[in-house]
Copies of this chain bind each other. A is one copy, B any other.
Amino acid sequence: MTRADRLLRAASDLFVRLGYEKTTVSDLTRAAGVSKGAFYLAFPSKDGLFEALLLREMRDYLAAAREALAVHPRAGSIGALYEVALRGLEASPVMAVLLRRDRDVFGRYLRQPDNFFRKFGAGHQSRGEVLAQLQAVGVVRPDVDVDVAAHVMNLISVGWVTVDEVLDTPAPPAEEVIAGLAAMMERALGPTQPVDLAPARALVDRMYAEGIAGLNAMLAQAEGGP
């Protein structure tokens, strides 16, 4: 495991637990078993590491989803998409705080004028466009308004990572909720008649691949020496 990797791994834990401010460079180097100097050989700054962490986590999230879909029997369907998306979210605390723009975690970092969201926020294609393409290949019913549906999906994502801290009643097991929500979305948006999933499957795989490639490009730019 490379130096940068060990730092990234330590960061993933520390940033989520302590937040950006409370996590000091010394904490990171100590946890990673690396000297302070080495830190600055691997990353240009504390910010740089943080941004690399977020980008890498997003990439890994997409990659995991893509792999899960590769072996998913109903890959291409809305339901399958939801299943892997939520399961991945459930597995990645970094993605959760990222999606939530968790203030406790991002702290002052968010106030920086050139923070992650402003720097890397654009560029990815919106969920509306994705839905439109899925509609073209028949896995989304023709009568659904893709922009509205996209917004609902965003809303659900945000809700997914936020309910727990707001709700008092305990949530049902995550796996059940995932299955239920996937089924609901399939019913809500999916076609009435069964369709051939192959084209959608290929389309989705391509979109994931593009997303991953884009993130890799950003990562290459974000990492590197001081």
Contact = CB atoms under 8 A, between A and B. Distances in A.
Interface of A: 99-101, 117, 121, 126, 144-145, 147-149, 151-152, 154-160, 162-163, 165-169, 171-172, 176-177, 179-181, 183-185, 187-189
Copies in the complex: 2
Contact of A148 (B101, B168, B180): B180
Contacts of A166: 99-101, 158
A162 B158 contact: yes
A116 to B, nearest CB: 12
A14 to B, nearest CB: 23
Secondary structure class of chain A's binding surface, majority of residues = helix
Contacts of A147: 172
Contacts of A188: 183-185, 187-188
A163 B168 contact: no
Contact of A168 (B121, B179, B189): B121
A43 to B, nearest CB: 26
A147 to B, nearest CB: 5
